[in-house]
Each structure stands twice: as C-alpha cells, then as structure tokens.
Amino acid sequence: MAKLRNKQLAPKPTRAVPPYAWPAAIVLAVLIFYWTPLTSADASIQWDAVDVHYSSQKYFADRVTGGALPFWTPYIFCGFPFLADLQVGAFYPPNWPFFLAGVTPRGIQMELMLHALLACFGAFLLARKVLGSPPAALASAFLYGLSVFFRGP
C-alpha cells in the first residue's frame, strides 16, 4: 500500500521541449506578425519606411547596380554627402542582399521582418542567458522584437 501511495504522489515526468522549438516559435510568430504586409496586394510600405528608407535605398541600389558608388547626391539639400548618411545603411551587411536584388516596397517589408527576426533572436539569447528560463526568454523576445519600437506607433 505504501508503494502505491508513493507512486501516486511522485511527480509525473515532463517531456523536455526540443531545443529547435524555441527558434521555430520565434520564426513562426514573426511570420504571422508580418504576414499581411508581406502578402497582401493592398498593403503599402509600413510606417515611415517610405519616407525614411525607400527613396534613399532605392537611389543607392540603382547607383550600385549601375556600377557607381554614390558619394554625393545633387538631388536633396542643394547637394548632400549621400554615402555618409546613416539612414541609407550602405555599410550595413544585412541591407546588401536587398540592394543587389533591387529595392522594392516588398523588399522594404522583408527588411523590416528581417530586423524584427534579428531583434527577437537577440532578445531571446540574452534573456535566456540572464533569466535561465527559455519560456521567459521567449516572452522577452516577443515583447522586444514585436514591440512598438519595431512595429511603429
């Protein structure tokens, strides 16, 4: 009888979550979050990306794929040191695939999604190291990478 009672009181073994489940959850959540902007024909470039990024990245991509590096542009501010502008992101490696493929509104959406994905992964890795709990780290990743900072007002 004592064996039966001890067996009933013993905690049930829990199944361990496979290590690939956490990154898969992040990818799935980011895809769901950006699904409509990426797939809908009625969606426009999100937030201020058309004003801040699209025109400068398009100009840069057109010049680079045409074989010239645009150090200067005469089209704004009576001339402007274009390559020095941080908003262009000319020296930012994750932008280069988009530059070489040609900057499009859909490409800007994909850039936004890529940056949210990077933010989620970075927050997850940091929170897992600091907090020691993968579920808490996943919540931290979503709260940071899908926050108003990345989503806009």
Tell whether 62 is covered by a domain.
yes
Tell whether 141 is covered by a domain.
yes
Tell whether 118 is covered by a domain.
yes
Q: What is the pLDDT of residues 52-87, one digit of tens each?
A: 778 888 888 888 888 888 888 887 788 888 888 888
- Checking if the pLDDT of 149 tops 60, the result is yes
Domain that holds residue 138: 23-35+46-151
Backbone angles phi, psi at 109, to 5 degrees: -60, -40
* CA-based max dimension of the chain: 91
Number of compact structural domains in the chain: 1
d(CA 76, CA 26): 40
pTM: 0.74
d(CA 103, CA 79): 23
When mean pLDDT is compared across 10-14, 89-93, 136-140, the lowest value belongs to: 10-14
Q: Are 38 and 109 in contact (CB under 8 A)?
A: yes
Tell whether 4 is covered by a domain.
no
The amino acid present at 49, given as its one-letter code, is: A
Tell whether 3 is covered by a domain.
no
Tell whether 76 is covered by a domain.
yes
Tell whether 80 is covered by a domain.
yes
Could you tell me the CA-to-CA distances from 139 to 12, 61, 83, 121 in Å, in that order?
Answer: 26, 37, 38, 11
Tell whether 18 is covered by a domain.
no
Q: What is the pLDDT of residues 6-38, one digit of tens each?
A: 555 656 666 777 878 889 999 999 999 888 878
pLDDT score of 113: 87
Q: How confident is the prediction for the chain on average, in pLDDT?
A: 82
